[in-house]
Structure 1
């Protein structure tokens, strides 16, 4: 877009969407940019549904657990928060009244929450944030395989979304299922995902299909679009709900 097109878009509907991703391994069948691609793809669908301005995706997140794997680029958690805050300050200067964050990388969730809370006290523009709304329920309804202790990574869920949005980047012939053993201290120590899985997969991507991905995307688009409309109404009314 040119500067004039951006100005026109903000004039029509002063809401911006910032997709947040990561650059890290996703097994032998998916590219490193899965989290960024999915955040951007979902955000693009929501932008079409709502008329919001779509910002370029942030391709790096907090990926400490994969730091030894070739290709990983990890930002410190407070740097992710700082990027979000800088983006919010930037768009607020030219008339955006609501910033919506759409995240494709679970480890970014804390940064989103704390950035939004700090901005509540610093900026006269609300920030709302989303990470696959009602994820557990959506997976239960649309996925056939079990998750690895509630986590999503290179599994049926993410692979199905990739097949729906970017099938050219998926190599299903290389997909493998893996459910690593969970150590007793996992989650209570520095034991990380990068030390547990041989393939880098947590779940069963072999059961993924594009149709499952399309059905799940439809749920997410409707939910996030409704949230953006509600957030904008609150912003217009002077209320901010975190």
Structure 2
């Protein structure tokens, strides 16, 4: 059987999108990543490349249209110690994603799956979710963090570090999905331990890592990246399929008092 291509919002016309959306309960996927340092061995685009490839693979299975990827995120914690990070502040990011969601709503989207591949995007994206729900009573928004989409995916990401970054899981994924982003000759020397255990405060990466890495990329492999990505696609596709038929537990309008 020939694999289907993803349904990309940017490739569709205004005459085609209404039918695309109607076929999948008016759902769309918004991939969100970041552009930031990923140690000495991974390219700065790792997070948005992962978000996009994951969303495209899920779209190919579910036929849910994928909005253009947001390649910037909230990466303030990576400091200026290592070049390459391009960051949005959390307020700007929340407003930006809320505006994207509102425009998608005006184009017919009523179920929005935000697929996030950068850990510290979670808070501003949750704020954007709250803004969108309050503004559009018939819009349902799901925020899915790619590294924790299921327990098996979570366990793989956290296997070598609790505060992981550019670790074995992320390096494996890029070996399998985007080898141009990987510098194989730098992997063996990139390991750096998690120094955050037991800390009271949340410290920026320049105070917890020597090279921008937390974890053991030396344990990465192409085979592990293939296996992990397959899990991510399977588990996110299942979640999206469930979301296509979900309705609110109660029908009460947002703006009407009890």
Q: TM-score range by the shorter chain?
A: 0.7 to 0.9
Superposition CA RMSD, Å: 2.5
TM-score when scaled to structure 1? 0.87
Distance (Å, rounded) in 2 between the aligned partners of 1:155 and 1:104? 14
1:170: Cα distance to partner?
1.1
Residue-by-residue CA offset, 1:150-209 (whole Å, 9 max, x unaligned): 12211001011111211222112111211154486x4515x3112332221111111111
Question: For 2:142, which of 108, 114, 128 is the aligned residue?
Answer: 128
Contact 1:133 1:223 in 2 (8 A): no
1:230 and 2:242 correspond: yes
Q: Which runs of 4+ in 1 moved over 4 A?
A: 235-240
Distance (Å, rounded) in 2 between the aligned partners of 1:159 and 1:135? 19
1:27-176 to structure 2, matched below 5 A, reads 27-68=39-80, 69-123=82-136, 124-131=138-145, 132-133=147-148, 137-138=152-153, 140=155, 142=156, 146-148=159-161, 150-175=162-187, 176=190
Contact 1:172 1:206 in 2 (8 A): no
Q: Secondary structure at the match of 1:54?
A: coil
Name the count of aligned residue pairs: 235
Between stretches 64-73 and 129-138, larger displacement belongs to 129-138
Residue-by-residue CA offset, 1:209-230 (whole Å, 9 max, x unaligned): 1221121122222222222222
Distance (Å, rounded) in 1 between the aligned partners of 2:251 and 2:237? 19
1:239: Cα distance to partner?
6.3
Q: Quick one: structure 1 residues 228 and 238, their matched pair in 2 at CA, closer, same or farther if it must change by over 3 Å? A: farther
1:135: Cα distance to partner?
5.9
Unaligned residue ranges in structure 2 (runs of 5+): 1-10, 253-258
Between stretches 43-52 and 6-15, larger displacement belongs to 6-15
Residue-by-residue CA offset, 1:125-167 (whole Å, 9 max, x unaligned): 1110111235664354x57x9433x122110010111112112
TM-score when scaled to structure 2? 0.82
1:112: Cα distance to partner?
2.0
1:5: Cα distance to partner?
4.1
Distance (Å, rounded) in 2 between the aligned partners of 1:219 and 1:10? 26
Q: Secondary structure at the match of 1:225?
A: helix
Distance (Å, rounded) in 1 between the aligned partners of 2:85 and 2:61? 33
Question: For 1:10, which of 13, 21, 29 is the aligned residue?
Answer: 21
Unaligned residue ranges in structure 1 (runs of 5+): none
Q: Secondary structure at the match of 1:89?
A: helix
